[in-house]
Structure 1
Amino acid sequence: MASSDDPSHRPLRSFGRIKSRAIKPRQAALFDTLLPSITVPDPKAGPIDPAVLMPGAAGVWLEIGFGGGEHLAEQASRHPDVLMIGCEPFLNGVGSALRHIDERDLKNVRLHADDARDVMAALPEGSLDRVMILFPDPWHKARHNKRRLIQDETTAEVARLLKPGGMVRFVTDWKDYAEWALARFERTPGLVWQAEAADDWCVAPADHVITRYEEKKLGDTPPIFLDFVRSA
């Protein structure tokens, strides 16, 4: 029987490059000094208990693919009593996030510099108050759609992890991906779309944090916001 580490049994990679250029010296130093102290325990070694990561946290949020870490750091700054778990395989983005965390002296952030799905599998049921998925790789070509992060198994895992009343927010600036994601979230038992009018998905929520990536306007539509809440 093939082991769980057999590449043929791993999910398709839903992200592109893991590094694009040399990491700046200051950020490289933070990989050695700061990252070890805030790294999420190896999810392949066993279950992850959020209460151990930050005892007494008022809530637990997970950001899947935090890019340069601007959104993650700002939300952590706004909610210092909430444990923020951020996952990002792109090392340049991890370096940027470390800089934000260091500059703001954030104590409530824990990072996983790899595939978020490993962390999700290791978290207990009903352990998250919020899941944030902002501008994931759209994988435009039809033959690459299978690499998109949002698949039926992913949305089912999100529903498993959310507490009753917990929310997942998906944001994209590609119309096709918005339609793709909406279809999969809507058919996931336990997740209820919160939109009642067009403004609910066309206008940024009050707590949204605009990042440099969003400002580049690389997609084919203004950002589309899909919020779902876990039913009881």
Structure 2
Amino acid sequence: MSDTPKSSFDPDPPRRNFYGRRHGKTLRQSQKGYLSEDLGDLRPRGITVEENPERRHIDPQAIFGDDRPVWLEVGFGGGEHMVHMAATYPDIGIIGCEPFINGVAMLLGKIRAARVSNVSVHPGDARDLMDVLPDASIQRAFLMYPDPWPKARHHRRRFVTPEHLLPLARVMQPGGIFRVASDISDYIRQAREEVPPAGFETILDTDQAWDDWISTRYEQKALREGRVPHYVTFRRL
């Protein structure tokens, strides 16, 4: 099978620039097995066609089989946080987006080990998923240790820009919670500036992790290297 993640939604998605890696080190045989055996069943499904046939939507109720609250994690990395949340809150459904196929394979292994079933995996760009999610369908969203794109000329590639935040605001419910964690002070600065104008208010801004937080490999690396993690919580207006 091909290890390249493909969109499961629009056969002719809008052309977008994509920055970052899709592949890393050669996958282990077990990871290739996770991708071939597990990924197909975990992709978001349930496309419905509205009155406008050009607009197709994923139905979150079809993904999880009921009307449970749906959460979204953008860029789940190795999947530690996503699986932890799924295990901690078994009555919610959580969709994770990640274009880096090695991270997808790592997540699938953790899903098997934890035996969580309230998860769905989009192995691609979060923008493609947000294109087909209905308005106000997401109750909570997470952006945990995103790619920092440290050079000033690359700041427009960060998730905390209108290109990403406005679609996120559209799919989030009023009162929905958006959490951002990063050890890069300039990333947090940009989040503070860019997220509220997209339709959010800041309700928590601290260097203390949330009560239900699990420390990820990225946070542990930041602490080893002397960087201070920061945690910001926004609420959809």
TM-score interval (norm. to shorter): 0.7 to 0.9
Q: Which one-letter code corresponds to 1:34 in the other structure? A: D
The equivalent of 1:202 in structure 2 is 207
Contact 2:45 2:62 in 1 (8 A): no
TM-score (norm 2): 0.86
- Give yes or no for contact 1:69–1:100 (8 Å, CA) kept in 2: yes
Q: For 1:230, which of 206, 227, 236 is the aligned residue?
A: 236
What is the deviation of 1:45?
9.0
Q: Which residue of 2 aligns with 1:33?
A: 37
> Structure 1 unaligned runs (5+)?
none
| Structure 1 CA distance for aligned equivalents of residues 88 and 67 of structure 2 | 14
Match in the other structure for 2:219: 214
Q: Secondary structure at the match of 1:125?
A: coil
Distance 2:79 2:67 in 1: 21
For residues 103-122 of structure 1, the aligned pairs below 5 Å read 103-122=113-132
**Alignment of structure 1 residues 44-63 onto 2, 5 Å:** 46-63=56-73
Q: Counterparts in 2 of 1:23-102, with a 5 A limit?
A: 23-41=27-45, 46-102=56-112
Deviations 1:103-151 (A, max 9, x none): 1221111101110110011100000110100111111111111211221
Match of 2:5 in 1: none
Residue 11 of structure 1: how far off its partner (Å): 3.4
Instruction: Point out where structure 2 has 5 or more consecutive residues left out of the alignment.
Output: 1-10, 48-53
Q: TM-score, normalised by structure 1?
A: 0.88
Letter in 1 for 2:234: F
Q: Please, which moves more after superposition, 161-170 or 124-133?
A: 161-170
Residue identity matched to 1:225: Y
Amino acid at match of 2:229: P
CA–CA distance in structure 2, aligned partners of residues 12 and 42 of structure 1? 27
Q: RMSD between aligned alpha carbons?
A: 2.2
Contact 2:46 2:60 in 1 (8 A): no
2:93 aligned counterpart, secondary structure? strand
> Match for residue 159 of structure 1?
169
Task: Tell me how far 1:220 sits from its aligned partner.
Answer: 7.0
The code of the aligned residue for 2:16 comes to P
